[in-house]
Amino acid sequence: MVPSSVYQSRVWFITGCSSGFGRALAETVLERGERVVLTARNLQNVENLATSFANQTLAVQLDVTKPEEVQQAVKQAIAKFGHIDILVNNAGYGTLGAIEEVSDKAVRRQFETNVFGVLEMLRVVLPYMRQQRSGHILNISSEAAFVVGAGAGIYCSTKFALEGTSEALAKEVAPLGIKVTIVEPGSFRTDFVTRSLVVCDTRIKDYETATENLRQIVQDIQDFKIEEQGDPKKAALAMIQAVDCENPPLRLALGADAISGINNKLESIKAELDAWKEVSVNTTFDQVVANKTRSNAIL
């Protein structure tokens, strides 16, 4: 159990506090008496939180795709609170469209926010965490980093990139007392589909059958015909529980649908590995000793 004095002294830096997980997490953390750097592209969206918890907050304008704003926001946070204990890389959005349908400009914009924005935040915050030899980074990924649907390939690819970055980062910073958790939510009742999803205008008829299911689900959510089952408040509590844990998970899946989807994907991968094992292992030079094991190192 974390002492209340620690709660009151901890500082959270959360990107994308206007709505969704960022908003729910900020509210929950503040209600516990902790301090939060509230960030949003439009400060009016967090003004009420900043006012209600004036002694616990710093509201800062931040677009993670603008390095100068990232640097300035972190400087303000350090000047105000002296340290950052938890960085939550939450800012992001999705793109709906088949791979060929999404323009190069749209692809680059998606990666600028979901990947390069996170990298910029990490590079600016990590020096402070390294100096204090402590910290916890929550990178908000998605079930879509495992379960890829036709029509969401560009969005999913940013989450795959985030997962790879996070895994490597976790190994790099563990000796420095810094922890990393990848959060993988399933379907939650946020405004992601209505507010944070860009639907590609280009439609290629040949892809309509493949992408129809996802497009229909999105449309049904937007038309309130489907209600997502996940509770953002409970997601926030789960993230806080991971931060409070002495040995937090590298991956934190949120929602029964996320657990089911990820398990199904892992089983599918294992089945395919087993089915093609003979072909896969029969690629060594003939003179290699049969029982010689390869190093686990990538390079």
Asked if residue 200 has pLDDT above 90, the reply is: no
User: What pLDDT band is residue 176 in, cutting at 50, 70 and 90?
Assistant: very high
Determine the pLDDT at residue 294.
Answer: 56
Asked if residue 75 has pLDDT above 70, the reply is: yes
Determine the pLDDT at residue 109.
Answer: 97
Which of these is catalytic: 18, 157, 159, 187?
159
Determine the pLDDT at residue 159.
Answer: 97
Interval 171-185 mean pLDDT:
98
Establish if 278 belongs to a structural domain: no
Which structural domain range is residue 16 located in? 4-255+264-270
Establish if 211 belongs to a structural domain: yes
Establish if 299 belongs to a structural domain: no
Establish if 282 belongs to a structural domain: no
Determine the pLDDT at residue 2.
Answer: 65
pTM to 2 decimal places: 0.91
Asked if residue 14 has pLDDT above 90, the reply is: yes
Tens-digit pLDDT profile for residues 80-127: 999 999 999 999 999 999 999 999 999 999 999 999 999 999 999 999
Interval 178-200 mean pLDDT:
87
Provide the 3-class DSSP secondary structure of residue 1. Answer: coil
User: What pLDDT band is residue 196 in, cutting at 50, 70 and 90?
Assistant: confident
Establish if 147 belongs to a structural domain: yes
Interval 172-176 mean pLDDT:
98
User: What pLDDT band is residue 184 in, cutting at 50, 70 and 90?
Assistant: very high
Residue 198's φ and ψ, nearest 5 degrees, are -100, 120
Determine the pLDDT at residue 197.
Answer: 84
Establish if 292 belongs to a structural domain: no
93 is catalytic: no
CATH number at residue 24: 3.40.50.720
Asked if residue 185 has pLDDT above 60, the reply is: yes
Determine the pLDDT at residue 188.
Answer: 85
**Which element (helix H / strand E) includes 24?**
helix 20-31
Interval 242-265 mean pLDDT:
97
Chain-centroid distance, C-alpha 206 = 32
Establish if 83 belongs to a structural domain: yes
> 135-140 and 178-185: which strand pairing?
parallel
String of DSSP letters for 221-251 = HHTTSS---B-HHHHHHHHHHHHHSSS--SE
155 is catalytic: yes
Determine the pLDDT at residue 145.
Answer: 94
Which of these is catalytic: 18, 19, 128, 141?
141
Determine the pLDDT at residue 31.
Answer: 97
Tens-digit pLDDT profile for residues 128-138: 999 999 999 99
The single residue listed with the structure tokens 């649908």 is 257
Establish if 21 belongs to a structural domain: yes
Which of these is catalytic: 19, 128, 142, 155?
155
159 is catalytic: yes
Determine the pLDDT at residue 194.
Answer: 72
User: What pLDDT band is residue 195 in, cutting at 50, 70 and 90?
Assistant: confident
- Number of domains present in the structure of the chain: 1
What CA–CA distance (Å, rounded) separates 27 from 9? 16
B/e letters for 127-159, b = 16+ CB within 10 Å, e = fewer, are: ebbeeeeebbbbbbbbbbbbbbbebbbbbbbbb
Determine the pLDDT at residue 3.
Answer: 60
